[in-house]
Amino acid sequence: MSEPQSAYIVGRIPKLPPKFALIVMPWLMSGMMSGIISMVNLVRSLGLSQQALHAWPGTWLLAWAVAFPTVMLVMPVVKRITKKLVRLS
């Protein structure tokens, strides 16, 4: 059995309305992807070292600052291509 969903994120902070899913999902996806990819690239170039671990947060934030607007710009194109490749109904 699944638990009933709470109307709150944590504590008394309410969940966002459904219309925000169009921004929250790409924001989270771009953050996770840019974090993983920036870490992989740093480890590949610097090795698994203290230097790479210290450089990662700044590198990740810069990558995320580029990734999120990029995702928002290319999303309509990706949706159109997906509709041509996938039967959605």
Three-state SS at 25: helix
pLDDT for the residue numbered 10: 92
Tens place of pLDDT per residue across the chain (89 aa): 667 788 999 999 999 999 999 999 999 999 999 999 999 999 999 999 999 999 999 999 999 999 999 999 999 999 999 999 999 88
- What is the pLDDT at residue 29? 97
- List phi, psi (to 5°) of 9: -75, -60
The string of DSSP codes covering 28-56 is HHHHHHHHHHHHHHHHHHH-SSHHHHHHH
Q: Report helix, strand or coil for 10.
A: strand
Angle (CA) 29-32-35 rounded to 5° is: 140
